[in-house]
Amino acid sequence: MDMAMAARLGPLGLPHAALLGSSAAASTRALPLAPSRAPRLPYPLPHFPTCRRPSSSSSAAAYAARPRPRRGSPRLLAVRAMASGNPYAAELAAAKKAVTLAARLCQAVQQDIVHSGIQSKADKSPVTVADYGSQILVSLVLKMEVSSGPFSLVAEEEGILSAIDDGKSKGGPTGRHWVLDPIDGTKGFVRGDQYAIALALLDEGKVVLGVLACPNLPLSSISNPNGSSSGGQVGALFSATIGCGAEVESLDGSPPQKISVCSIDNPVNASFFESYESAHSMHDLTGSIAEKLGVLAPPVRIDSQAKYGALARGDGAIYLRFPHKGYKEKIWDHAAGSIVVTEAGGIVTDAAGNDLDFSKGRFLDLDTGIIATNKQLMPSLLKAVQDAIKEKNQAASLL
Ligand SMILES: Nc1ncnc2c1ncn2[C@@H]1O[C@H](COP(=O)(O)O)[C@@H](OP(=O)(O)O)[C@H]1O
Ligand SMILES: [Mg+2]
């Protein structure tokens, strides 16, 4: 970090109120890091409906039933479990608080970028401030709110200030690791379009919790192809915990609503999401997959894991992601989004139909692509994907 950047961040590396702007500074105050009155628990419990009990044969049930290390006082764990039935309730509440704060910072910076036309001058410093500031806020809130056990954060930004040096963690198959993308969809962020603050928790190599703050996503559903709003409330916070389903609420704090993927079983009625950036996903291949499947609607191209959120609440039926050869997917680009979709009843796999494996460190061990849809469409989607890839490879071998 250079000195100019350090000066723009206040003490402790927290973004200076002047940088946030008066409204953002006021809203930061409205969401205090510590409760103003002494509650019986050190954090407010979220209003979760009791978790559904996964069937005993499911991997979620086996996972939930495994012996787990003791974290926090036994009394606290008991109170938490009785109150919500969600063993990760405290972590979920902290994660929501963290990304909501980070989203407010990002919103203020994005407005500055869009209004000042900074992007055309190739001045990257506001993006850097939002990226680093978002990570600092999330890191500090998690540390303050979930203090038991060692703190491990796998994040996109590594080694900025000591406050976020935790982002260096390598992740892996054991222990607990927070996984953070402080601004996912940076290109969309700079353009004034969609982006997300994505935070997940890995426990023994599995994603057990995910939250996605999508400040520019309409709260109810996407009403036009680039994901922007044509009126109505904007700013959605998706969340999911393993075995407990997925929810959406407004970033301003409306009560959470359960969400589920669409139930479309005929591809003719389906639409599909993909990256806005053709450099991130091969639009020619996704077009060919859609054609083989019989999808008639044009692709809905939006940036970031907002796609996973939109899919999870049924705004569209399919998400296709096929990076160009040699690209290695990062765990922070998919951890939060994938659990939001699977807990909403969807399926997320690689192009061969295998579950994504988040236990291998900072990267996902795959190089073919990622697909997501509902259970009804997945078999025919997989076939279309494999046929399209085969055709593309054959065409390439003839060149
Ligand atoms: N060549 C590439 N192929 C695939 N993904 C890429 C890429 N270059 C960057 N990305 C990833 O794509 C993410 C954005 O995904 P999407 O296309 O869905 O908006 C980026 O996240 P960041 O913006 O956090 O860096 C980045 O991690
Ligand atoms: Mg990203």
Instruction: Out of 99, 134, 184, give the residue to mutate to test ligand 1, the one with the largest number of ligand atoms within 8 Å of its CB.
Output: 184
Q: What is the pLDDT of residues 302-354, one digit of tens each?
A: 999 999 999 999 999 999 999 999 999 999 999 999 999 999 999 999 999 99
Q: What is the pLDDT of residues 39-77, one digit of tens each?
A: 232 333 333 333 443 333 343 344 344 344 344 443 444
Atom index in ligand 1 nearest the CA of residue 187 equals 23
Ligand closest in space to the Cα of 330: 1
Give the pLDDT score at 228. Answer: 54
Amino acid at the residue 139: S
Give the pLDDT score at 170. Answer: 78
Residues 6+ apart with CB under 8 A from 325: 367
> What is the ipTM for the molecules in this complex?
0.99
**Which residue ranges make up each domain of the chain?**
16-34+86-259, 267-398
CB 248 within 8 A of CB 340: no
Model confidence at 99: pLDDT above 90: yes
Q: What is the pLDDT of residues 206-215, one digit of tens each?
A: 999 999 999 9
CB 208 within 8 A of CB 187: no
Between 206 and 115, whose confidence is greater? Answer: 206
Percentage of the chain surpassing pLDDT 70? 72
181 labeled part of a ligand binding site: yes
Mean predicted lDDT score pLDDT of the chain: 80
Closest-CA residue, ligand 1 atom 13, reads: 185
Atom index in ligand 1 nearest the CA of residue 330 equals 27
Instruction: Find the residues whose C-beta lies inside 6 A of ligand 1.
Output: 156, 181, 183-186, 275, 277, 279-280, 303-304, 323-324, 327, 330, 333
Average pLDDT over every residue of 227-235? 71
Residues 6+ apart with CB under 8 A from 204: 66, 173, 174, 175, 359
Cα distance between residue 341 and residue 33, in whole Å: 29
Look at domain 267-398 and name its CATH class.
alpha beta
Catalytic residue among 28, 100, 128, 186: 186
Distance of alpha carbon 345 from the chain centroid: 17
Q: Which of 164, 343, 136 is nearest to 241 (CA)?
A: 343
Give the pLDDT score at 55. Answer: 38
Q: Which of 213, 205, 220 is nearest to 185 (CA)?
A: 213
Q: Is 186 a catalytic residue?
A: yes
Cα distance between residue 48 and residue 85, in whole Å: 8
Average pLDDT over every residue of 107-132? 78
Tally the C-alpha atoms within 13 A of residue 119's C-alpha that lie toward its C-beta.
Answer: 16
Closest-CA residue, ligand 1 atom 5, reads: 280
Which tokens hold the place of 282?
């091969």
Residues 6+ apart with CB under 8 A from 73: none
Give the pLDDT score at 60. Answer: 39
Model confidence at 140: pLDDT above 60: yes
Q: What is the band of 83 on the pLDDT scale with cuts at 50, 70, 90?
A: low
CB 138 within 8 A of CB 99: yes
Which tokens hold the place of 294?
């019989």
CB 94 within 8 A of CB 199: no
Alpha-helix residue ranges (DSSP H) falling in the chain? 3-8, 17-20, 22-30, 59-65, 74-84, 89-116, 125-145, 186-191, 283-293, 306-312, 335-343, 378-398
Closest-CA residue, ligand 1 atom 14, reads: 185
- Burial class, 22, CB count within 10 angstroms (exposed 0-12 / middle 13-18 / buried 19+): exposed
CATH superfamily name and code, 16-34+86-259: Fructose-1,6-Bisphosphatase, subunit A, domain 1 (3.30.540.10)
Model confidence at 22: pLDDT above 80: no
Say what angle helices 283-293 and 378-398 make with each other, to 10 degrees.
Answer: 130
Q: What are phi and psi of 131, to 5 degrees?
A: -60, -55
Q: What is the band of 126 on the pLDDT scale with cuts at 50, 70, 90?
A: confident
Give the pLDDT score at 163. Answer: 52
Give the pLDDT score at 24. Answer: 31
Catalytic residue among 28, 100, 128, 131: 131
365 labeled part of a ligand binding site: no
Residues 6+ apart with CB under 8 A from 360: 171, 172, 173
Q: Is 131 a catalytic residue?
A: yes
Atom index in ligand 1 nearest the CA of residue 327 equals 3
Instruction: Give me ligand 2 centre to Cα 86, in Å.
Output: 28
